[in-house]
Amino acid sequence: MRCNPSLWLLGLIPIAMLSWIAVQVEHEGIENDLARRTEDALHRTGLDWAVARFNGRDGVVTGKAIEDRGPQRALALVRNVWGVRTANNRSGLVERVDKFVWSAKAETNGRLTLSGDVPSEQARKSLIDTARAEFPKAAVADNMRLARGAIDRDDWLRGATFSLKNLAQLKTGVAELSALDLSMTGDAPTSDAYRRVRTALAKQRPAGVNLAREKITLPVASPFTWSAKKAGDNVSISGFAPSDEDRGITASRAKAKFAKASISDHTDIAGGAPEGWGKAVSVVLDQLALLKSGEAAFRDKELTFAGEAADEQAASAVRRTLKLDVPQNFKIIDRIRYPRPDLPAPGAGYVMGIVNDGSAVEVIGMVPSEATRVALVDTVKARFPGRAVTDKTQVVPGAPEGWQQCIVAGLASLPRLTRGKSMLTNRKLEVTGETDDYAAAQSVPNDVKGAAGQSCEATTNIKFTGQMKTDLTWNATRDASGLVTLEGEAPDDPTRTRLVEMARQIYAGSSISDRMKIVGASAEPWMSATRIGLEQLARLRRGDVSLAAKELTIKGAADSEQVAKDIRGVLSTDLPPGFKGTDAITVMTADEKAADSCQSLMRQTTAKGMINFERAKSDLTADSTQTLKDLVEIANECPAFSIQIEGHTDAEGTDERNQKLSDRRAQAVADFLARNGVDAKRLTTVGYGATRPLADNDTEVGRAKNRRIEFTVKAN
């Protein structure tokens, strides 16, 4: 039999493949065995960060160590494992930081994020375990990183663990450790949680951990309510106080004012108290103590004060104190009662009366028929919508001629009074009462007498209970665009109306912004002085006039020295007796006049056109393009002047957000002008946020006026 070499060769191939596979299997088994035993050795010695990888029996050490000697210790350990032939070091050290900064952030979406530096993997694992235990329903995100530095690891870990446990008691919040300085902010879900966290931060911190900053906010009560009720020898207090300190102050004041009463305090603490809450509550407790019985209840900025006083004088004294001493941002609903006779003594004649005590209305006395009684009560109800009207009349024939006109004359003015009464005795009508409206106090007497005419003899006694001012502060400003703004104090509403109408006549075609508030004062000679101020201001290009006490001051820019001289002449000769005039008027240069004209054109173009942005953004809308192109033409017709672009917002949102938004919107306009041919070097921008409103931010119309872009042109 002959030997065939090719067949032998074919037989050797599978033998070689099987041998190679056997070697590979054995090789992999050796590597796995070495890796497993090396990993065990590293773990036992606390070098978990290190990883050993093998090619056969030759190893490489990788990973990042916390300690400086860590890489050499890991390399030495790997080399000493039985079966390892050689081992090379490719490990390093984690980043070293001067100060460990670590934080935990709990969000409303159920997410907890751990960030910053940790001194070891054991610390990382411990914090993650604590987080999952304290926030069982939260998704825990681990953004922590290993770092080296001079920190006591045990103290640091106790501080971080303490932070997590207290953060878990808040709705949302952030805890931060900067080295061993702890800061915590957040919103407490309840007053108890608020107290627990603040107490822990103040008194229960781990040794070595310092409290750098704490800002834990109470849950907001909406509405923010508080009430005190006096009934016999019992006083009960309930609702909310802004803090435990305020709660204690209120309780102490109640004990002092109601010394013989049994006081029960059921108040808690919450956020959301209106400004002046502490002052208002103190005044209320003082006045409640003067009543036989009563109740005071706050609901945000509305105070309802009800109860029974000993007599009319006591009731008036309480009302006046509430009006004067409770902060002006509170609205007071007064329902104080006091005993009074329903009818005059028998034999007084034919008597008819309407009594308004501030909370309810009574119709008393005599009426000539049932039909007249029904009609009269219906008329009273129409005059006092929402008030309880009690009918205590009786039908008695013999009413004097013209009595209906007299009754209507008295009734017409009663709703204008805080409280009062109209009494008709035979043919004599007497209207008495009080009001904190100076205009009403002045006009009611004439109105009553005019309405009564010859039907009866009318007398009045109206007391003004508001604060009468003698030195008013008032100001009017006229800018280059023609906008006239009236601000400050006005004596009464009719005077305010006349002043606004006067401004419209003097500045025909200009916009008038009325920001005045009414105070009790005499209209003359104040009105004469302000009229002169407005007339002289109209002779200036721009400026302002102010009236403080009896000094009228005009500031601004005049076209010529003659205009300035004429204004000074009026101030020295035409003001009412006792008033003094001063000025700070400058005469404009030719360049200033040209810049002023350019500014007027730009502001008029802006007022007639539109510059709009996407809601809450700085992106210009398409309908703004034409106005902006018109502004480009005007700007290039005044090439010698610089242009400041001012951004303004309404008051919605935070001050910081509005400031940034106004900055971006002003810059967006500047960018458009520059892209379309205006030299960018001439343009500057500034954002004023909501700090310079033109109108009331409480209405949509007012907010729309406040969202605007304005231009100021200046000579270089």
For the stretch 375-392, pLDDT in tens is 999 999 999 998 889 888
Is residue 382 located within the same domain as residue 439? yes
pLDDT digits (tens, 9 = 90+) for 68-117: 787 888 788 888 888 888 888 888 787 888 889 999 999 988 899 999 99
Characterize 25-36 residue by residue with b for buried, 16 or more Cβ atoms within 10 angstroms of its Cβ, and e for exposed.
Answer: eeeeeebeebbe
For residue 119, the domain's CATH number is 3.40.1520.20
Of 84-88, 259-263, 339-343, 455-459, the one with minimum mean pLDDT is 339-343
- Residue that is last in its domain, among 337, 372, 388: 337
Q: Which two tokens stand for residue 21?
A: 């596979």
Helices (H), 384-426: 403-413
* 128 located within any domain: yes
Is residue 573 located within the same domain as residue 618? no
Q: Which residues contact 30 (CB under 8 A, 6 or more apart)?
A: 54, 56, 57, 83
The CA distance from 107 to 112, in Å, is 6
* 344 located within any domain: no
Number of domains forming the structure of the chain: 6
Residue 343 has pLDDT above 70, yes or no: no
Is residue 238 located within the same domain as residue 197? no
* 185 located within any domain: yes
Q: Which two tokens stand for residue 436?
A: 């904190």
pLDDT at 26: 59
Residue 346 has pLDDT above 60, yes or no: no
pLDDT at 225: 96
Q: Which two tokens stand for residue 577?
A: 């007796």
Strand order in the sheet with 234-241: 262-269, 234-241, 225-231, 293-299, 302-308, 331-337
Is residue 302 located within the same domain as residue 386? no
- Residue that is last in its domain, among 414, 429, 464: 464
pLDDT at 168: 94
Is residue 389 located within the same domain as residue 357? yes
* 345 located within any domain: no
Is residue 394 located within the same domain as residue 485? no
Q: pTM of the full predicted structure? A: 0.48
* 579 located within any domain: yes
* 157 located within any domain: yes
Is residue 285 located within the same domain as residue 202? no
Is residue 584 located within the same domain as residue 595? no
The CA distance from 567 to 116, in Å, is 69
Q: Which two tokens stand for residue 495?
A: 């005077």
Provide the pLDDT confidence category of residue 136 given band limits of 50, 70 and 90.
Answer: very high
Phi and psi angles of residue 146, each rounded to the nearest 5 degrees, phi first: -70, 145
Is residue 486 located within the same domain as residue 454? no
Is residue 312 located within the same domain as residue 202? no
Question: Which residues constitute the domain of residue 418?
Answer: 351-464
Phi and psi angles of residue 517, each rounded to the nearest 5 degrees, phi first: -125, 150
Q: Mind giving me the DSSP string for 633-651?
A: HHHHT-TTEEEEEEEE--S
